[in-house]
Amino acid sequence: MADLTVEARQIPGCSAVLLSCHGVADAHTFERLDQAITDAFGTGAVNVIADLSDVSYMSSAGLGILIKSQSEADEAGGAFLLLCPSPQVKELIETTGMLDFFVVANSPQEAIKKLGVGG
């Protein structure tokens, strides 16, 4: 069975947490992604960047967590941003018509600029 790891780190000089996701986000692993995002917002960060460049597959369960996280960030006055979604993740987001729902950046610098938090 494929696995998912999520590594969190504070971006120096910035009110954002970067989550580097690796592996597969599906019905067996989506709870790890959900917990990592919840933990990131729980640190007091109002901005969370999810680096999805190394996510080889995402099911609707993983997409559901991204949608939930975007909505929670909006409600909290913060931001949830997708960084470099892999081709597989980008295809899922496009196919489901959710591309306009998310803020997507193609580099860490672009992500920080879109957040408007400095860095």
CATH of residue 89? 3.30.750.24
Q: Which domain holds residue 60?
A: 4-115
| Mean of pLDDT values over 69-92 | 93
pLDDT tens, 11-25? 877 778 999 999 999
- The tally of domains found in the chain comes to 1
What is the reported pTM?
0.92
- For the record, the structure tokens of 12 come out as 């120096």
Q: Is 87 exposed, middle or buried (0-12, 13-18, 19+ CB in 10 A)?
A: exposed
> At 40, which amino acid appears?
A
pLDDT tens, 36-67? 999 998 877 789 999 999 999 999 999 999 99
